[in-house]
Amino acid sequence: GDPACPQAGVLPVPGARLHYEVRGRGPLLVLLPGGGGDAGVYDAFAPLLADAYTVVALDPRGYSRSVLDGPPGTQTVERQADDVAALVAHLGGGPADVIGGSDGALVGLDLLARYPALVRRVLAHEPPAFGLLPGAEEHSAFIASVHETFVREGMGPAGARFAAWAGAGGDRWEPAPELAARLFANGPRFLEHELRSFTSWLPDIGALRGPAA
């Protein structure tokens, strides 16, 4: 099929129904979006790989077209990694290559640590594991202040403050209108239910290193 027109599917998982999109043929490659993102952030990138891979992108639970069975709650890295593991198993069991950006990079690392049989390798781009970085306390304080701004002043000021700190300038990427509307709608849920829990999470370094030589 046309790589620009992916095949969409829905996978029931505990507490949600995951929307995912598949392009191409070949070894499995899973693309994980950053916080508040969905499969559409890879619309320009995924077709470039579809001649060599079965490229899969998904909307994380509770975002865009991945509908929750109940009210929203705190998003966790582990729950999202469990969802990706279920999706890989559903699509044949892998092992899959995984590319994740930002919060998606954290999910990829947890997937590799806890489901090594399903994962061949992970490209983790800028995972915000602040506890492993210099200035961890300052980073955590800033994240807390962004959430306080969201509670006090709303999505606009909080989102702008976070984007400026993260270097997400609007002149670098202009999403299509339909995607932009979905990402904007995801913003409040990201700020309320994901930003703090993900940036305070730490990967299992021992598991990622693998068995001792």
User: Domain segments of the chain: what residues?
Assistant: 7-207
pLDDT digits (tens, 9 = 90+) for 39-92: 999 999 999 999 999 999 999 999 999 999 999 999 999 999 999 999 999 999
Q: Are 72 and 144 in contact (CB under 8 A)?
A: no
Cβ burial 33-66 (10 Å sphere, 16+ → b, else e): bbbbbbbbbbbeebbebbeebbbbbbbbbbbbbb
Task: Give the separation between CA 69 and CA 15, rounded to whole angstroms.
Answer: 5
The structure's pTM equals 0.93
Task: Name the phi and psi angles at 202, rounded to 5.
Answer: -125, 135
186 forms beta bridges with: none
pLDDT digits (tens, 9 = 90+) for 98-146: 999 999 999 999 999 999 999 999 999 999 999 998 999 999 999 999 9
In sequence order, the 6+-apart residues with CB closer than 8 A to the CB of 160 are none
Indicate whether 1 pLDDT > 70. no
CATH 3.30.300.130 fits 7-207, yes or no: no
Name the residue among 77, 57, 64, 88 with its Cα closest to residue 16. 64
- In 6-117 the beta strands, taken as DSSP E runs, fall at 7-13, 16-23, 28-32, 54-58, 67-68, 96-101
